[in-house]
Chains A and B, each alone.
Chain A
Amino acid sequence: MIKHLLSGGDLDADTATEILDTAAEMATVAGREIKKLPALRGRTVVNLFYEDSTRTRISFEAAAKRLSADVINFSAKGSSVTKGESLKDTALTLQAMGADAVVVRHPASGAPHRLANWVDGSVVNAGDGTHEHPTQALLDAYTMRARLGRLAGLSVAVVGDVLHSRVARSNVLLLSTLGAKVTLVGPPTLIPVDIAGALAPGTDVSYDLDSVLPNVDVVMMLRVQRERMNDSYFPSAREYARRYGLDGPRMRRLPEHAIVMHPGPMNRGMEITPEVADSPRSTIVEQVTNGVSVRMAVLYLLLGGNNR
């Protein structure tokens, strides 16, 4: 097993499948009266969050607690970071406190990679800048496998702001490892040139959502970040919603079995309409539930044994 989880590309097909299989067992714990396992008793997991996050932080916290680990939450607000402490000094402090794993979210791409060189424990990337978010990709893969029964051969459209999306990058890497075919869809301004070739050969790019929809098993909508709307990546929010938003008529053009995913938080009316978000095809709530199981699996596989 690997020591850190920094990128969707860290995982080979066997390890990724092991995580998904373990997550399936962890999911059964959620249905029990006592939602607790003793596997990480006495281990300390630090949630080091330099960016606001609700679901990811809570999801990691719930996962660690269900495995009986001790959880320390660190958010940049109200910490020494506001006094100017560097990431390295913060890391060394956590190290001195005996953190066995650090779950880190940071606005700078690559911060978790640096952190991994400074601490002895395992580092889990919970989103770095516009780079990667591997546990999101794992829970997306888990959700697809749970709904559609397989990953190999699936056709997945990832739609929206690919340029700034760590979810998209991690998903392309992981899904192609697991044998799914990804098509990146969005306005040309929001899809980096040659991203497909750089990340995973075999990935397609399209600028026309309507032509892609009839041939996919999964459509994953990405959030359009509010701050981007004023950055001239597209003429107006309304035009974006018209061309790349998923509404009822577009959803009905999908194959019968296809599912709609969104990593959250959603902008209802922008990239997805309420009709789609609340339809039975939408897996948005399941994704949150599955997130806890997948993060339990990741923490167990990184920390459960003597892998040092």
Chain B
Amino acid sequence: MAYPPAARSSPPRQPSVKVILASADVQRVVDRIAHQILEKTQGAANTVLLGIPTRGTPLARRLADRISTFEDVVVPVGVLDITLYRDDLRRHATRAVGPTELPSGGIDGKRVILVDDVLFSGRTVRAALDALNDVGRPASVQLAVLVDRGHRELPIRADYVGKNIPTSLAESVKVTLAETDGVDEVKLYGGANS
């Protein structure tokens, strides 16, 4: 935790935890993004949802599920593993490679919507764009995220944002989902004066 040196003299504060989205909120947000996708893509024809592991994968499945509930269209869902395209591979111990599963129809000529949980520096999305480039040639690429916490380091923006959370760099945002963690929640940890 990067406290400024002056703060070290006083006893360290308990790191604060704030629930930004509770379970029901997460579901509402997913519903809204599904509606927005339908609206912006005029019915989600010729569209593919690709989740970025770990939590983008269940989010993409949920969005497809909601879209089919609202409008009775089936949007193919896939998984795009970006491990081998990361720009920080060499700064960490070797990362395990996960599966990339493209829908049977492929992605060539489709509108691909990348789905991730948190948009932060933008580096994950950059890696995903590179990975996408190697597996096919989509007609266009859009980005849907559950949370945008700011602090971009690359010129990347999301087309669909569940919730904008203004944060400081000392804070961290943690998304948990029922499929991967047992409960739907978005929490904000730490921070100087919260």
* Residues of A participating in the B interface, judged by any CB pair closer than 8 Å: 1, 18, 21-22, 25-26, 28, 32-34, 36-39, 67, 300-302, 304-307
A-B contact count (CB 8 A): 54
Query: Of A18, A25, A33, which contacts B98 at CB under 8 A?
Result: A25
Contact of A306 among B81, B90, B133, B134 (CB under 8 A): B90
Closest to B127 in A: A38
B99 within 8 A of A: yes
> Given the complex, which residues of B lie within 8 Å of A302, measured CB to CB?
94
How near does chain B come to A49, taking the closest CB pair, in angstroms?
A: 26
* B13 within 8 Å of A (CB atoms): no
Cβ-defined contact, B85 with A38, below 8 A: yes
B100 touches A300 (CB 8 A): no
**Contact of A305 with B135 at beta-carbon distance under 8 Å, contacts A25-B97, A25-B100, A28-B100 already known:** no
Q: Decide: A304 near B94, CB < 8 A? Known: A25-B81, A25-B100, A38-B85.
A: yes
Give residues of chain B (70-125) contacting chain A, Cβ–Cβ below 8 Å. 81, 83-85, 89-100
A296 to B81, CA, bound (A): 17
Q: Which of A21, A28, A307 contacts B94 (CB 8 A)?
A: A307
Tell me which residues across on chain A come within 8 A of B25, comparing CB atoms. Answer: none
4 smallest CB-CB distances across A and B, nearest first, come from A305-B94, A39-B84, A37-B84, A25-B97
B130 at the interface (CB under 8 A from A): yes
| With contact pairs A32-B134, A37-B84 given, residues A1 and B96 touching in the complex (Cβ less than 8 Å) | no
Q: Interface size of B by Cβ–Cβ distance < 8 Å?
A: 21
Instruction: Write out the residue numbers on chain A whose beta carbons fall within 8 Å of the beta carbon of B99.
Output: 25, 28
Q: Are A300 and B93 in contact (CB under 8 A)?
A: no
- Given contact pairs A25-B81, A25-B98, A300-B84, A37 touches B93 in the complex (Cβ within 8 A): no
Task: Please give me the residue from chain A that is nearest to B87 by CB atom.
Answer: A38
15 pairs of residues in contact across A and B, judged by CB atoms under 8 Å: A22-B97, A25-B81, A25-B99, A34-B135, A36-B134, A37-B134, A38-B84, A39-B85, A302-B94, A304-B89, A304-B90, A305-B90, A306-B90, A306-B93, A307-B93
Report A33 CB to chain B, min CB distance, Å.
8
Report chain B residues within 8 Å CB of A34. Answer: 133-135
C-alpha spacing A34/B107, complex, angstroms: 14
Give the residues in chain B near A300, CB-CB below 8 Å. Answer: 84, 94, 97
Which residues in window 163-179 of B have CB below 8 A to A?
A: none
Given the complex of chains A and B, what is the CA–CA distance between A21 and B91 in angstroms? Answer: 23
Chain A proximity of B163: nearest CB distance (Å): 32
B83 to chain A minimum Cβ distance, whole angstroms, is 8
List of B residues within 8 angstroms of A28 by Cβ: 99-100
Q: Are B92 and A305 in contact (CB under 8 A)?
A: yes
Taking CB as reference atom, which chain B residue is nearest A43?
Answer: B90
Q: Judging by beta carbons under 8 Å apart, are B89 and A305 in contact?
A: yes
Bound-state CA distance A306–B89 (Å) is: 7
Min C-beta distance of A68 to chain B, whole Å = 9
Cβ A38 vs Cβ B98 within 8 A = no
- Cα distance, A38 to B134, chains bound together (Å): 10
A18 to B94, CA, bound (A): 11
Nearest CB on B from A196, distance (A):
34
User: In the docked arrangement, what's the CA distance between A32 and B106, Å?
Assistant: 11
Instruction: Enumerate chain B residues within 8 angstroms of A26, measured Cβ to Cβ.
Output: 97
When chains A and B are docked, how far (Å) is the Cα of A37 from the Cα of B84? 7
* A305 contacts across to B, CB distance below 8 A: 89-90, 92-95
Q: In the complex the two chains form, what is the Cα distance from A302 to B90 in whole Å?
A: 11
A304 to B84, CA, bound (A): 8
Smallest beta-carbon distance A37→chain B, Å = 5
C-alpha spacing A28/B102, complex, angstroms? 11
* In the complex, chain B residues whose CB is within 8 Å of the CB of A306: 90-93
Chain A residues near B96 (CB-CB < 8 A): 18, 21-22
On chain B, the residues within 8 Å of A25 by CB distance are: 81, 97-100
Cβ 8 A contact of B93, one of A1, A18, A22, A33: A1
Please name the residue on chain B nearest to A37 by beta carbon: B84
Residue of B nearest to A22 (CB): B97
Selected contact of A1 from candidates B89, B94, B100, CB within 8 Å: B94
Q: Give the residue name and chain of the B residue nearest to A302 (CB).
A: B94
Tell me, in angstroms, the Cα distance from A38 to B129 when the chains sit together. Answer: 13
Bound complex: CA A301 to CA B93 (Å): 9
The answer to whether B135 and A32 have CB atoms under 8 Å apart is: yes
Q: Report yes or no: B89 in contact with A39, Cβ–Cβ below 8 A.
A: yes
Q: Which residue of B lies closest to A297 (CB)?
A: B97
